[in-house]
Amino acid sequence: MKISIHNKKDEAHNGHWGKEKYGNLYKTIARAENRDELGEECWLDFPSDAFKLWPRASGEHRCSYPHHIIEDGDTMILSVPGVKAAYARAKQQGVFSGKIKEHLERHYRELELYEGSTMDTDNKIEENFQFIESYLTEDIDDGPPTLEDVPVEAEPNPTTKVIEEPASEKPESLPKQTDAAESDKNGVNRKKLYIEFIEYAKRIRIKNTFGSMFDKDGFNVTYPFVPDDMRYFYRLANPLLCVLENNLTFFALSELRKVNTGNDYKKLIVFAATTELIYFRLSDQKIYSSSEDISTLVTDDTKLSSATLLADSFDQYIEQLVGKQVLNG
């Protein structure tokens, strides 16, 4: 049987990406007439001899970074969370280049997941494009399931003795290290607040998309101008695409430098806009809006001081948007 490939956005799968979808993928594709064509499309890393080692390839012959599912037994379609997970894993393992990069960029264009035709790879930040729910369950540490996770249909050998090796201690992940660093700053409630913000944004517009940033040097090296009060927000809820009511647009971390062109970052940092700029003022750590452009605000203290006060802190501004008191409630 031949399986057709459909990579259109309106046919893509948006549901959960897990073993129940992936478990029989290798077996189904390996039995198809056009299995090599399917393999090249389904996995980012597809060794030419992967299917010659049926029923299972392993080690250097293993297929890696799957991001499709088989639907109705005869059609292979893209998995939106699968593509995001493949991108996250490829970046984590340092293989996001060459054919793998081109393959992912093609899917991001097909699914309209990113503005422009290429991903932002010029900076040192690793934006994983996984939703905050994946971060909370630590999926980013384990990545998508590999062939090692797929059960093989074989008769058990009753004479085989299973030897359990002692579990080795796993180093604490960067997400957990970040949480620990925020523990004395109302960190638990702040995390809840940012999750509320994501859920609120998705209720308004399902296409609103968020990522997270756990490059340990991201703010020290690449984005040192981002105020401390806002860094935990961008670590957990980086607004890759976020348009809210009244066209209030939050800018992604990677866009902040461009948005703030002409700003020396000593007075303010613009992070959102409607018909006016929304910014964090460093002198009092409050949120303001103004119809003036950045160059006027940073050079004219009168214009800066006459701007409209929106909130007494960045987190209070987020609370006002979601309509819930999270930090002190």
pLDDT score of 201 more than 90: yes
pLDDT score of 250 more than 90: yes
Candidates 160, 147, 322, 128; CA nearest to 244 is 322
pLDDT at 110: 85
Of residues 74 and 173, more confidence is placed in 74
Find out whether the peptide bond into 55 is cis, omega within 30 degrees of 0: yes
How is the chain split among helix, strand and coil, in percent rounded to 5?
40, 15, 40
The stretch 176-205 carries a mean pLDDT of: 77
DSSP string, 145-195: --GGGSPP-----TTPPP-PPPPPPPPPPHHHHHHHHTTTTTHHHHHHHHH
d(CA 19, CA 108): 23
pLDDT at 141: 35
- Predicted TM-score (pTM) of this structure: 0.49
Q: What's the whole-number average pLDDT of the chain?
A: 76
pLDDT at 22: 55
Candidates 114, 312, 124; CA nearest to 214 is 124
Candidates 208, 226, 218, 329; CA nearest to 282 is 226
CB of 114 within 8 A of CB of 154? no
The domains of the chain, with CATH numbers, are 4-118 (no CATH), 174-322 (3.40.1580.10)
pLDDT, tens only, 284-305: 999 999 999 998 999 998 998 8
When pLDDT is cut at 50, 70 and 90, the band that residue 276 belongs to is very high
pLDDT score of 142 more than 50: no
